[in-house]
Amino acid sequence: MVDDDLWSAVGDPTRRRMLDLLLSDGGGTATSLSEHLPVTRQAVTKHLVVLDRVGLVHATPAGREKQYRVDLAQLERAVTQMADVGAAWDARLQRIRRIAEAIERKTNS
């Protein structure tokens, strides 16, 4: 089963880049992330809220800011869903290919 909210969250390129940064740095704040992205700190905060809502990141207080870390179990769930959907589409495309090849063989006979 596909979690549409999860897919929507990872569908945004800025949020994917944020996940990459959080994974490579072991975590970060809205301020530290905004230093590496072409968006404002406020925009980063809004993106982090989306990622937090679907469970891809979790925040802990760190002074006046929040420290965000990626939830690896939830990220693995997203990766598994994507792989499952990819496999299902591959199977559909193979069926379409077989049908098209059968039609072509009939036409050429």
Task: List the domain boundaries for the chain.
Answer: 4-108
At 66 the pLDDT is: 96
What Rg do the C-alpha atoms of the chain give, in angstroms? 20
Question: What are 39-90's pLDDT values in tens digits?
Answer: 999 999 999 999 999 999 999 998 999 999 999 999 998 889 889 888 999 9
3-state class (DSSP) for residue 20: helix
First to last CA, the chain: 43
Please indicate, yes or no, whether the overall pTM of this predicted structure exceeds 0.75: yes
In the CATH hierarchy, which top-level class contains the domain 4-108? Answer: mainly alpha
At 7 the pLDDT is: 86
For residue 1, pLDDT over 90 is answered with no
In sequence order, the 6+-apart residues with CB closer than 8 A to the CB of 48 are: 18, 30, 33, 57, 59, 66, 68
Tell me the mean pLDDT in the region 12-41.
Answer: 96
